[in-house]
Amino acid sequence: MTVDPAAAEADAADLLHPVVVHHIVNTLQWPGLRPLQEEAVAPLLAGSDALLLAPTAGGKTEAAVFPVLSRMAAENWQGTSVLYLCPLKALLNNLTPRLATYTGWLGRQASVWHGDVTEGRRNRIRRERPDVLLTTPESLEAMLVSVRTDHRGFFADVRTVIVDEVHAFAGDDRGWHLLAVLERLRRLIAPGNDPAPSTPAAPATTAAAGELQVIGLSATVGNPAELLRWLQGSGAGQRPAQVIAPDLPTTPPRQAKVEAGPANGAPPAPGPSTPASASAPTPMPGEIELDYVASVSNAAKVLATLHRGEKRLVFCDSKKTVEELGQALRALGVATFLSHASLSVEERRRSEEAFAQARDCVIVATSTLELGIDVGDLDRVVQINAPATVASFLQRLGRTGRRAGTTRNCLFLALTDSALLQAAGLLLLWGRGWVEPVVAPPEPRHIVAQQLLAYCLQEKRIGDRTWVDEWNGLVPFDRSAEPIVRHLVRLGYLDSDGGMLFIGPEAERRFGHRHFSELTAVFTAAPEFTVLAGRDEIGRTDPVLLTDPVEGPRLLLLAGRSWRVTHIDWKRRRCFVEPAESGGRARWLGLADGAMSFELARAMREVLLGADPPVPLTRRATGRLAVVRENHLDVVHPGGTMIVRTDDLTDVRWWTWAGERANRTLIASLGDLADPLQAPTAAYLRLRTDLTPPGWRAATADLPSRLCLPHVSDEALAGLKFNTALPPRLAEATLATRLADLPTAATVLREPVRFTTLGT
């Protein structure tokens, strides 16, 4: 089916397959398509790549699926022709019944494949090859390397890949993994691309990458055109592409054609000068309010009192807070359900299903419910403290206001002064229509090493010169990876014989367990103990809670309930418990959501200088914010940064308000002027106590031109999965680059600095 994009002026529904239109009208009983769905029809039918932007529940899935199913029927696609990729298994489970219904209209099938799908079900999928396969990028790669799946036969007919919640991939290493796997898929579907040669004398593959339509679905991002170019991978600049976002007011045309840009997946460079994107939306209308409650118990009292009879979703910034708030709400008689990543799958599923069917209740969650998992119609969203980004806030805000006659809403309940300040700063940015750009982490050399090993598993043997073709020139999976290949051979991860590369003994030893399942998992999970009540798995807990000295019984808090530990199986990492009345503790040691950005840190400084967010503040929040401003009078100035020493000369702090990465860069670059062992904050860093203004000016005069990358600890290096498959200097350089923000650090060094002493 070939459709001229100019046909967008026609009625979009007339372009869809008649059977799809019939069911939209008669089965779904929709009065018409939404603007996003209308505008997506013509370009997607024409085979264009696209990024569809809309708030949560904005109809993105249907906007992508209806045109793709129409192409499938009109062009008689056979076999597995559509892949639908999601970041979460729970989201896949949630979407599968819906997509199975839509494909069933046309006599087609949709199936789901992920780590929880039984081997029997997988064998049936291998035999029957559904038209639409829902899976994760990790499971897709597991299929490519599996000896049980004929990957060339199974994926030969793939025409379109839909990537849901693409912003959740692009901002971390899962995005690089996704791009690399899609490039390998392009090679599989390329015309004339036969299996890899078994001998070096055979001619190298010359087939071009296959024509693969990629469609990204995303919530609001600050750089949609760059995100689409990134998603296109090696197809960027070669294939037509459009950003489609009619529901988000923008300055450029609503379907601005993406201009030719970097064709190798290169991310836009981060930096402090990144402006509020011209395509960022104006704030969504809604009821937003900021309150200060000072403690978890007070937050529970507010939630128990407000909005009785309504369904409320409460977001917390840590699993520990989820557990403590859940327990406090239950103690107040509130029907409460919990959801976070350390609860068992069954426990979370029970909570989410019960919440979806209830009315007067609360579900308390981390970001696990931020994405589009359906938990029914919500009346209220409550945010404890503040999310890390404006984009995250927009995603959470979008969970409300879905029913006719309702509005989007969010109540912020700050527990601390710092959380109150961060929430105010975030809402200040939101009020200006600013949203973070999604930027892929730089220099993913460890993912390059992982991909080389995975490709050797997939093809068994690859040419020691022709491997470079298999990612279609996508940087950094190109010839720049040759030092990594040499290192893999030198350490025995790869064997080399007669011009061919294949899996070596070291890769077998490190990653060969359970059919190399560790090789397809991009991240290293923190070690946790499984908690069992009888045979029922409750969830997982940090081993610190099992080793800390305690008086009396050892009590855990998990799933909002207290448990007494009865037995610990150290070898199998299991902990057996029985119910307890109260007194349980919750704790997880892990990475935070991410370092605070320069823009958010500077917005917080603006709030301290008197700027108010464009939302109502309760009387408590107004009064507390006044106190916070009073407490920070000596560390903010509109004309530049502040170096502040205490009157007893025992502490000197440089208040940069530059974000954690920039401050980490400044610590490394200042040498003996700064404490090299300090943990950087987003607001300040510590300097030598004998520092003088002349000494400062002399030491920093040319510093912007000779900045250093931060030091990388052994502990941080150990957390980088596949780091042992890299030369040590490259592994350290990868992490150091990701910890740094050189442009922001240089900008801050050029700003005026004022010296002052507290109390003067």
Q: Residue by residue, what is the 3-state secondary structure of 453-498? A: HHHHHHHCCEECCHHHHHHCCCCCCCHHHHHHHHHHHHCCCEEEEC
pLDDT-based confidence at residue 354 (cuts at 50, 70, 90): confident
- Please write the tens of the pLDDT for every residue from 47-69: 999 999 987 777 999 999 999 99
Domains of the chain: 5-191+234-244 (3.40.50.300), 287-431 (3.40.50.300), 445-520 (1.10.10), 529-579 (no CATH), 634-757 (no CATH)
Give the separation between CA 708 and CA 586, rounded to whole angstroms.
Answer: 39
Mean predicted lDDT score pLDDT of the chain: 87
What pLDDT score was predicted for residue 368?
76
Give the separation between CA 73 and CA 107, rounded to whole angstroms.
Answer: 9
What pLDDT score was predicted for residue 369?
80
pLDDT-based confidence at residue 247 (cuts at 50, 70, 90): low
pLDDT-based confidence at residue 209 (cuts at 50, 70, 90): low
Mean pLDDT over residues 79-105, rounded?
Answer: 94
Mean pLDDT over residues 401-425, rounded?
Answer: 90
| pLDDT of 119 strictly over 90 | yes
Give the separation between CA 660 and CA 595, rounded to whole angstroms.
Answer: 6
Maximum Cα–Cα distance for the chain, whole Å?
Answer: 80
| pLDDT of 715 strictly over 60 | yes
Q: Is 630 exposed, middle or buried (0-12, 13-18, 19+ CB in 10 A)?
A: exposed
pLDDT-based confidence at residue 266 (cuts at 50, 70, 90): very low
| pLDDT of 268 strictly over 50 | no
37-41, 128-132, 321-325, 532-536, range with the lowest pLDDT: 532-536
- Please write the tens of the pLDDT for every residue from 584-611: 999 886 544 468 999 999 999 999 999 9
What pLDDT score was predicted for residue 516?
75
| pLDDT of 760 strictly over 80 | no
- Please write the tens of the pLDDT for every residue from 477-528: 999 999 999 999 999 999 999 999 999 999 988 887 666 777 777 665 567 8
In percent, how much of the chain has pLDDT > 70?
88
Cβ neighbors of 494 (< 8 A, separation 6 or more) are 452, 453, 456, 485, 488, 501, 502, 503, 504, 507
38-52, 521-535, 621-635, range with the lowest pLDDT: 521-535
- Please write the tens of the pLDDT for every residue from 158-188: 999 999 999 989 988 999 999 999 999 999 9
Q: How much helix, strand and coil, in percent to the nearest 5, is found in the chain?
A: 40, 15, 40
Task: Specify the DSSP class assigned to residue 505.
Answer: H
106-115, 261-270, 597-606, range with the lowest pLDDT: 261-270
Give the separation between CA 495 and CA 453, rounded to whole angstroms.
Answer: 11
pLDDT-based confidence at residue 205 (cuts at 50, 70, 90): very low
Task: Specify the DSSP class assigned to residue 438.
Answer: P
Which residue do the tokens 């403690």 mark?
295
Mean pLDDT over residues 322-351, rounded?
Answer: 90
**Cα-Cα end-to-end distance for the chain:** 76
- Please write the tens of the pLDDT for every residue from 426-482: 999 999 999 999 999 999 999 999 999 999 999 999 999 999 899 999 999 999 999
Mean pLDDT over residues 223-247, rounded?
Answer: 93
